[in-house]
Structure 1
Amino acid sequence: MKSRRILLFAGGNLGEWALRLIQEHDVLVGVDRGAWFLIENGHSPHLSIGDFDSVTEEEKKQIASKSLQVTDCDPVYKDLTDTEMALQWAIRQHPEEILLIGVLGTRFDHTLANVHLLEKGLQAHIPCRIIDAYNEIRLITDGVTIESGPYDHLSLLPFSQEVTGITLQGFQYPLENATLRIGDTLGISNVLIEPRGHISLATGKLLVIRSKD
């Protein structure tokens, strides 16, 4: 599985855009209602995981019959969210990349918790991205190259108390050896003006958020 991506489909905001992310050899994980989303769109999850409190009994039966593997847990006596359980499983498979899809939605507490899950991928040295119809979010501790694409804006937010040595190349508002601290908004809403841009930093953890309206 080392050469594969793992895509986690949770029960947040989903749509046709999410299906277009799937490539031929991807491993698909359905998280609670995300499993039903995959099945009703013709995909059989490699794993469906969660307490399945967001689906009907009939939908749960179909999830059980059409998934290669199912991990069902009690909705009360569990310490982790469904998404964190799915991410832990994905990390144990040692993939090249993990995409978290459908993890942003109307519940801000779940949205913020899922952004914090990017730290788990960072600790495991596995690139992780959160993607929805309007955003792509990743957490970095070193350099990253940004390719021109569907996202108009790029924002940088410190995920540690302080991020130092931030340098931007190829953006409308360049930075050179800058420092961002918790609460700073200097890194909000930049624009890529070259076919590709580069972000580097010296210390700290930096959220890189690409967005479109």
Structure 2
Amino acid sequence: MMTRAYIFLNGVGEKEEFYKKLDFKNSSVYCADGGYRQCLKAGAIPKEVWGDFDSVSDSEFKDLEDSDIILRKFSKEKDSTDGELLIEYVSSKNYDEIYVLCGLGGRLDHELTNINLLFKYKNINIKTEKELLFSVDRKYTFINKKNKIISFVPFSDEVRNMNLKGFKYPLNDYLLKRGDSRCMSNIVCSDEATVDFNTGRLLCILND
């Protein structure tokens, strides 16, 4: 059976209809600090809540202490964000799928950091109502995504020998450089499409 985890951060939340499509009951749910509030709005019950709890009210923290939810409290002075500490932990649990919710919006510095964490930890995706963000590790195959809009953004100075097959705008052995917008808003035109490259760091944004 496939295992799945959701991680709530403290970015911008989604509409109720979006959360209803997610299977929280058969998944493990985690929260980082103020993500606990987002989790409650989504109607989910977290397994663990991590953080220094500077984004949680006294009454909310009291409710957490009185519950069966596992709490991990950290000092405000630390070398990583609450979100990264939790993402590192959940990533080590070997779930088949890990989705970060409320990871975008809010403070820009946190948003950019959350996106960069996709390259540091394995099998992490940022999911919103309209988009799915993940890093591509040399090769990825899209199945049954015909007519979906997909963008590729370089997160290194160069992405070498990049190929796109099954897309409206294919590429062959392309050198994608930082700041290059060549791979924005491509369209899948077949039942199976692939992206592959030799070296570099590549972010995929699937408009879902």
Q: Give the TM-score, by structure 1 length.
A: 0.86
**Residue 116 to residue 24, structure 1, CA distance change in 2 (3 Å):** same
**Alignment match, 1:4:** 3
Alpha-carbon contact 2:118-2:124 (below 8 Å) kept: yes
Equivalent positions of 1:144-159 (< 5 A) are: 144-148=140-144, 152-159=148-155
1:52-85 deviations in whole A, cap 9, x for unaligned?
222221122223333531112232x222111101
**Alignment match, 1:33:** 34
Q: 1:141 & 1:104 partners in 2: Cα distance?
A: 22
Equivalent positions of 1:1-213 (< 5 A) are: 4-15=3-14, 16=16, 17-75=18-76, 77-121=77-121, 126-148=122-144, 152-211=148-207
Please say which of residues 178-187 and 142-151 is displaced more in the overlay. 142-151
Structure 2 residue identity aligned to 1:8: I
Q: 2:181 & 2:42 partners in 1: Cα distance?
A: 40
Q: CA deviation at 1:175?
A: 0.8
Secondary structure of the residue aligned to 2:186 is: coil
Q: CA deviation at 1:196?
A: 3.2
Alpha-carbon contact 2:147-2:189 (below 8 Å) kept: no
Which consecutive unaligned segments of at least 5 residues does structure 2 have?
none
Structure 1 residue identity aligned to 2:105: G
Which consecutive unaligned segments of at least 5 residues does structure 1 have?
none
Q: Which has the higher strand share?
A: 2
**Residue 18 to residue 82, structure 1, CA distance change in 2 (3 Å):** farther
Identity across matched positions, percent? 28
Structure 2 residue identity aligned to 1:182: R
Q: 1:117 & 1:185 partners in 2: Cα distance?
A: 22
Q: CA deviation at 1:43?
A: 2.6
Q: CA deviation at 1:180?
A: 0.5
**Residue 150 to residue 7, structure 1, CA distance change in 2 (3 Å):** farther
Q: 1:22 & 1:61 partners in 2: Cα distance?
A: 27
